[in-house]
Structure formats: structure tokens, C-alpha cells
Structure 1
């Protein structure tokens, strides 16, 4: 099969990074299908076909995978991209919101991998790219739950990669930094509580986070890296894409003493 005819499934493909990646790969000649929780909301979406899929609901994953196999006969690449943001002081984020977040960002990603792996084993080939975040490499203030969900997916990917290697299936992580998308609008923000001991610092950090997204790069860059991973015979475990300083921050965490790195973050967030 020609490289340009690989069948690619992108979860969360109707907006943000997923949409940008899907458009880029479609233009490169790949057969792209995206997913969204409610296709009816995207009747004017013309970039590539969308399938109904909610990563928290196994039955919708099974149906979307079966529909795709019925149409194309195979799934060559899963871009496990669907995810949500969450902000707030860990102490003040409601417990149910923390659970909901992990249901999407962590358990949902695992459910989708489970959904495609039987077909990939049958084919004796396949590639799974889990879209995580540079935030998953460090505990960021007021983004602790988000950092934790992405860190959990990073480490789980390291494990599952070894488990499926003998089946001819390859697995990699791709950690983006900040890109100009609508993610800020879709985040769950714990409310800034008037009179809370966290009020001043949390509000300041929220303003800083939104500015970073607004000033972020073109999400097409993520598509370029994903195509490179697809074309690499033996992909690495970890890839990063984003501004130089965001990627460099991961390197600094690896080489600096913990307290020195913590001081850098405190200075950055003006805490």
C-alpha cells in the first residue's frame, strides 16, 4: 500500500489541533477520518469525514472503529488526540471534575487504544500516536490535574509500546506545547473564589495561560511532526513540538536540581 494511502483515525478531529492535523494529512493524500461526540453539530464540516465517537463511551468507540473498517478495510494510524483542559488550585477543583478530566484525557485514550488494537493485531501492523502535552513533563501550578493526566498517558504509552511491539504495532507519544487553538475556551476552569487564599495567584496564572495560547504557534506544525512519525520506520517513544523554550524546559528539568527548576517555574508564574 502506498504511504500516502494510509488510513488515519484522529480522535477529537472536529476542532483545534485534531482538525489542523486532519486537514494537513488530507492535503498530503492520506485517507483521514476524524471523530467528534456529535457529528450533527458539524453539518458544514467539509475537510474530511467525521465519525461519532465519545472517548468515555466504549460502545461509540466500537461502532466508529467498526464503521471505519467496513468502509476502508483497515486502520493504519490512530492519532489519539481527544482531550480537555482543566485549571485550578488542586485544593479547590471539585472531586467530580478531577474524575471527569481523567475519564477523557487518560481512561478515554486507553479505551480508544483498546478499540483499534484488535484490528491492528489482525493486520500485523499499525501505529498509535498519543497526543500528550509538554505540561505532562512537569507539575505546573494551577494545572496540576492536567499535567497529571498527560504524564499518566506518557508513562502508559511507554508500557503499551513494549506490550504490542511483537505484533508489528508501533506506539509513540507526541507532546505539544502551546498552539493557537480554541482549547482555552473549552477548558474546565475552577472558579476564582472571591476571598480565597489562592485568588490573586490563580487569576494571575489564568491570564498568563490564556496569553500563552493566544500567542501559540500554528497547529499545522503538529501535523508536520505527525507525518514525520508516520513515515519513520521505527519511531522514537517521545516527540515534542512547540516553541523552543517550552521544549527546552523539559531538558532543563532533566539536568537541574529540583529546587532550582522549581524556582524557575515560580519566577515564570510570578508566584
Structure 2
């Protein structure tokens, strides 16, 4: 039987690319969106799901289980970007970002674990970010939410060992998607002490996404992880310098690494 894969946020961007790639490899793929009717041309079924609403999570999992009797692989891909000086981002937006990037994936995992435990098998792949390995200026909230998901995955893995359920993180760098359009951008305020530096950083972030890698690279990486019997704890997918940045943080003194980041962002 084909493996059944559920991809949150599978209607566009990286999630869509992963879904189409896996379907071509013979997997039975389901994606999710808050409004499935907006994607009538999707190459795989799109199920209603809003990761910030618990009732839709339960309904989505039950719908897929009712149709397929199992979920072999959960890919927590749904996420949201957020930029701005931390001082100027409204609390409501910070909380909303964590609801999407951190609490949402946790609740989807909780909903799917009972069925995976019953079938004595399963794989959960959490799509995090290379940004989650470091506190990036004007992306601090995003870094924090993705970093939190990285860490809780480490704990989850150990708790699930008795049930033959694997979990891993896959952290992408910059990919050419529409994530910038869906981000919450704190406005560049005329009277803000951060106006000049935040404005330049925001422009740089958008340029990085526009010139990012082909999302198919992520799809290929996810396929390899699914084919791996015992996945690693962490995977990174991106250009050499993005992956090197993680290594440098591990080996350089904190202040030296901080200066490298500040120079990179021209701060």
C-alpha cells in the first residue's frame, strides 16, 4: 500500500512542491488550507485546516483517517513570517505568530499521534528554518518560534521512542516562494528610531526570498528523509553559506558571531 502523507500548508510554496513531488513518487498525498476551495486545480486533495483552530485540526485528521485508515507521514509545513523591531511589534502579532509556527504544529502532532501509536509506526517532519538557529535582527520573533519548534522536536523524539514513531526537523534557508507576501510586516514608522536600519533589512529579506532556491530542493530532501529508516534529529537545506552560518555559530565566540550577523545585515 502507498504511504499516506498529510502536509499542512500544502496548497502553495514549499508545501505544494513537496506534495507534487511525493505524489509523483507514488505516495497518497493530502494537503491542507484554511480555504480549500481556493485551490480547485491542486494535483492532490486539499483538506480544510487552520492550525490555530483546534476543532479544524481534529476534523482534518478524522477526514484523512476515514478515507485512508492511516496517516504514515505528517509534514508540519504551515507557517507564517513576521518582521519588525521587537519593540514595535504588537503583542497580538507575536502571539499569533507563535500560534501558527509553534502551538499549531504541536496540536497537529497531538491529534495524529494516537493513530500512529495504534499502527505502531509513523514519521513526523517539522519544517522549521535556518533562521531558528540564531536570533536574527528584525526577525527575532520568527527565529524564536522556529527555534522553539526545533527544541521541542528533540524532546518529542525521546518521548516517542517506545512507539516506533520517528520525528525530525528539516530547516530550509531562503527559497523562492510567496512567503514574503504572507508575512506580518511591522510598518516602517517615520518617527521610529529603527526606521533606517529596519527599512534596509526589510528590503534585504525580500530580496533573499526573491532570489531563493528552487523549492524542489526541499521536496527532494523530504523524500530522502521519508526513505531513511532512522532519520537524524536535524536536517538543513539551503545554500552553502546558510548552512555554514549554523556551523560558525557553534564554533565562534558569541560576540564574534554577533558581529558577523551585524555586518551581514549592515547594522
2:76 aligns with 80
- In the alignment, structure 2 segments of 5+ residues that lack a partner are none
Q: Equivalent residue of 2:74, what SS?
A: strand
Instruction: Give the root-mean-square deviation of aligned CA atoms.
Output: 0.6
Aligned partners of 2:154 and 2:129: how far apart in 1? 15
Q: What is the match of residue 56 of structure 1?
A: 52
| Contact in 1 for aligned 2:7/2:31 (Cα 8 Å) | yes
* Counterpart position of 2:252: 256
How far apart are the structure 2 equivalents of 1:110 and 1:74? 19
Q: Deviations over 1:206-247 (max 9, x none)?
A: 000001001100001111111111010000000000111001
Deviation of 1:37 after TM superposition, in Å, equals 0.5
**What is aligned with 1:209?**
205
Tell me whether 1:136 sits opposite 2:132 in the alignment.
yes
Tell me how far apart the structure 2 counterparts of residues 195 and 111 of structure 1 sit (CA, whole Å): 40
Which residue does the alignment assign to 1:16? 13
- Aligned to 1:235, the other structure's residue is in SS state coil
The equivalent residue for 2:102 is 106
Q: Distance in 2 between matches of 1:219 and 1:41?
A: 21
Check if 1:31 corresponds to 2:28: yes
Q: 1:46 Cα shift?
A: 2.8
Residue in structure 1 matched with residue 183 of structure 2 by the alignment? 187
**Distance (whole Å) between structure 2 residues aligned to residue 182 and residue 252 of structure 1:** 29
Question: Is there any run of 5+ residues in structure 1 with no aligned partner, and where?
Answer: none
For normalisation by structure 1, the TM-score amounts to 0.97
Q: Check conservation: 2:11, 2:42, Cα contact below 8 A.
A: no
2:43 maps to which of 31, 43, 47? 47
Q: Does 1:223 align with 2:219?
A: yes
Ranges of 4+ aligned residues in structure 1 off by more than 2 Å: none
Instruction: Report how many aligned residue pairs link the two structures.
Output: 267
1:145 and 2:145 correspond: no
Q: Secondary structure at the match of 1:70?
A: helix
